[in-house]
């Protein structure tokens, strides 16, 4: 297939495909899927070998958010029966982080719901990072607190943060359809603030919210232009009690095509399978490892993942290995670019709270390509509470974390 030969050759050289080539990946059929995975897998192995970086989420403050992001179980007016609690104490957060590091995580992601942090919140997170680094000096810390005000990114950097997460989530064109309380431009601004302060930019997307292929390609190219060092790919978890509860538009095949497209556009960038991995990829998760070089270990912010040991077993069974604390994630030339752009206070990448994925379709017929038929999932329009399990353990509870 000429397309895949072209994309592989570009990816091996670290070149970005054209927008038309990225769209063509999303339009491939299920008959072509394994060829797509194999092609993007070559690119993944060129830059990241068989390493899988493990990240561990600690939800510092859960629920009760004044913002109205439609995809989020913590949003204003959410009826989702999630854990709700205010700021964890530093020792509580450090205990949860330790469980993740003990399970193999290289990076701990400290996340709090809300529009953005107050200066007092930055103090709290500073104390929390100190408690975590006292126990695990080598651990990477990424912070995700929403929209940043002036100088807050600099304070986080000075306090020892390595990275800041703020997702762009979807295209600029459709951003207003998923959130009204802040704008796409607000998100871009925060990513730039973080990157400009010398923090590694972690910014990604959510697939499965009803967006078009063009929207997905738009946001992925925007993330590349912003210089995101890490691109989390969330697949929407349609929580009961949120506006997108019936938005079940993804299939495992669609998710793999999206991951492959993100990999081709970001050949030498960390691509992370984030929220919704178990819900949407299901038994196809191991194929995702041939595309992404990073995943979350254990549970997510407000939903449960599979057991941490199952994550580790899956990585081993699929022939991959957990990336060690002493190993660089990004290829050398990317790390150099990140350092140089930080020093020059250049741009950044997007972000948002929470690993949290869609599409539409027509009935299958003999004339309908398999991908198009299946991308409009059988459960469209229904609640699937059997697939979404609310997190009731770990941070904010008396029960041990899943790591």
Q: Which residues carry out catalysis?
A: 65, 69, 72, 109, 142, 202, 272
Burial level of 273, CB count in 10 A (0-12/13-18/19+)?
buried
Strand 200-202 and strand 163-165: the pairing is: parallel
Give the residue nearest to ligand SF4 (CB).
353
Which tokens in the block code for residue 318?
A: 């699929």
Q: Tell me how far apart the alpha carbons of residues 352 and 289 are, in angstroms, rounded to a whole number.
A: 24
CB of 249 to ligand SF4, least distance (A): 19
Question: With respect to ligand SF4, which residue has the nearer C-beta, 128 or 234?
Answer: 234
Q: Which residue's structure tokens are 């304070």? A: 155
Tell me which residue of 43, 50, 52, 26 sits closest to 253, measured CA to CA: 26
Q: Is 67 in the site for ligand SF4 (CB under 6 A)?
A: yes
Instruction: Return the ∠ at Cα 162 (arms to 158 and 299), rounded to 5°.
Output: 130
Q: Tell me how far apart the alpha carbons of residues 56 and 298 are, in angstroms, rounded to a whole number.
A: 7
Which span sits near ligand SF4 by CB under 6 A: 65-73, 85-93, 131-139, 269-277?
A: 65-73
Q: Is 354 in the site for ligand SF4 (CB under 6 A)?
A: yes
3-state DSSP call for residue 170?
Answer: coil
Question: With respect to ligand SF4, which residue has the nearer C-beta, 9 or 185?
Answer: 185
Q: Is 238 in the site for ligand SF4 (CB under 6 A)?
A: no
Q: Is 352 in the site for ligand SF4 (CB under 6 A)?
A: yes
Which span sits near ligand SF4 by CB under 6 A: 64-72, 93-101, 198-206, 244-252?
A: 64-72
Q: Is 373 in the site for ligand SF4 (CB under 6 A)?
A: no
Q: Is 74 in the site for ligand SF4 (CB under 6 A)?
A: yes
Q: Rounded to whole angstroms, what are the CA distances from 70 to 173, 247, 396?
A: 16, 11, 24
Question: With respect to ligand SF4, which residue has the nearer C-beta, 201 or 287?
Answer: 201
- From residue 112 to residue 141, the character string flagging contacts with ligand SF4 as x (rule: CB under 6 A) and all else as - is -x----------------------------
CB of 82 to ligand SF4, least distance (A): 11
Which span sits near ligand SF4 by CB under 6 A: 50-58, 233-241, 254-262, 349-357?
A: 349-357
Which tokens in the block code for residue 273?
A: 């399978």
Q: Tell me how far apart the alpha carbons of residues 379 and 248 are, in angstroms, rounded to a whole number.
A: 6
Which span sits near ligand SF4 by CB under 6 A: 5-13, 68-76, 127-135, 360-368?
A: 68-76
CB of 360 to ligand SF4, least distance (A): 24
Q: Tell me how far apart the alpha carbons of residues 193 and 122 are, in angstroms, rounded to a whole number.
A: 15
Tell me which residue of 177, 206, 204, 238 sits closest to 109, measured CA to CA: 204
Q: Tell me how far apart the alpha carbons of residues 131 and 15 are, in angstroms, rounded to a whole number.
A: 41
Which tokens in the block code for residue 306?
A: 């599979």
Q: Is 278 in the site for ligand SF4 (CB under 6 A)?
A: no
Question: With respect to ligand SF4, which residue has the nearer C-beta, 17 or 354?
Answer: 354
Q: Is 146 in the site for ligand SF4 (CB under 6 A)?
A: yes
CA atoms within 13 A on the CB side of 308: 21
Q: Is 69 in the site for ligand SF4 (CB under 6 A)?
A: yes
Which span sits near ligand SF4 by CB under 6 A: 61-69, 132-140, 264-272, 357-365?
A: 61-69
The full length of the chain comes to 403
DSSP 220-232: HHHHHHHT-SEEE
Number of residues that bind ligand SF4 (CB under 6 A): 11
Contacting ligand SF4 (CB under 6 A), which of 44, 53, 75, 263? Answer: 75
Q: Tell me how far apart the alpha carbons of residues 229 and 266 are, in angstroms, rounded to a whole number.
A: 9
CB of 117 to ligand SF4, least distance (A): 12
Contacting ligand SF4 (CB under 6 A), which of 353, 373, 388, 395? Answer: 353
Which span sits near ligand SF4 by CB under 6 A: 47-55, 260-268, 292-300, 347-355?
A: 347-355
Q: Is 394 in the site for ligand SF4 (CB under 6 A)?
A: no
Residue 165 carries which DSSP code?
A: E
Burial level of 31, CB count in 10 A (0-12/13-18/19+)?
exposed
Q: Tell me how far apart the alpha carbons of residues 212 and 39 are, in angstroms, rounded to a whole number.
A: 24
Q: Is 65 in the site for ligand SF4 (CB under 6 A)?
A: yes
Footprint on this chain of ligand SF4 (rule: CB under 6 A): 65, 67, 69, 72, 74-75, 113, 146, 352-354
């Amino acid at each position: 297939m000429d397309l895949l030969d072209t994309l592989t050759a570009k990816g091996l050289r670290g070149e970005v495909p054209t927008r038309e080539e990225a769209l063509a990946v999303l339009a491939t059929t299920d008959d072509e899927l394994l060829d797509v995975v194999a092609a993007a897998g070559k690119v993944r192995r060129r830059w990241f070998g068989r390493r899988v970086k493990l990240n561990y989420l600690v939800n510092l403050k859960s629920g009760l958010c004044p913002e109205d992001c439609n995809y989020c179980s913590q949003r204003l007016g959410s009826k989702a029966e999630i854990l709700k609690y205010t700021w964890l104490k530093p020792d509580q957060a450090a205990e949860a982080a330790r469980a993740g590091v003990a399970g193999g995580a290289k990076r701990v992601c400290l996340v709090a719901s809300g529009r953005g942090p107050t200066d007092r919140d930055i103090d709290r997170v500073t104390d929390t990072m100190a408690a975590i680094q006292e126990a695990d000096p080598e651990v990477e810390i990424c912070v995700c607190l929403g929209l940043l005000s002036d100088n807050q990114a600099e304070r986080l950097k000075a306090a020892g943060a390595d990275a800041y997460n703020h997702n762009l989530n979807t295209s600029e064109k459709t951003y207003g359809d998923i959130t009204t309380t802040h704008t796409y431009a607000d998100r871009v601004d925060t990513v730039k603030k973080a990157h400009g302060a010398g923090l590694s930019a972690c910014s990604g997307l959510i697939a499965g919210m009803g967006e078009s292929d063009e929207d997905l390609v738009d946001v992925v190219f925007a993330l590349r232009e912003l210089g995101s060092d890490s691109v989390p790919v969330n697949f929407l978890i349609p929580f009961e009690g949120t506006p997108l509860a019936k938005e079940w538009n993804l299939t495992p095949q669609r998710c793999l095509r999206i991951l492959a497209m993100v990999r081709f556009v970001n050949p030498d960038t960390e691509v992370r399978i984030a929220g919704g991995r178990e819900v949407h990829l299901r038994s196809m998760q191991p194929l995702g490892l041939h595309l992404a070089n990073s995943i979350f270990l254990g549970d997510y912010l407000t939903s449960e993942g599979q057991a941490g040991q199952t994550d580790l077993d899956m990585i081993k069974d699929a022939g991959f290995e957990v990336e060690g604390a002493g190993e660089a994630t990004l290829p050398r030339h990317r790390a150099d670019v990140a350092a140089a752009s930080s020093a020059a206070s250049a741009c950044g990448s997007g972000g948002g709270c929470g690993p949290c994925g869609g599409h539409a379709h027509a009935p299958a017929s003999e004339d309908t390509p398999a991908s198009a038929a299946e991308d409009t999932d059988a459960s469209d329009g229904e609640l699937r509470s059997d697939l979404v399990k609310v997190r009731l353990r770990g941070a904010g509870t008396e029960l041990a974390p899943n790591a």
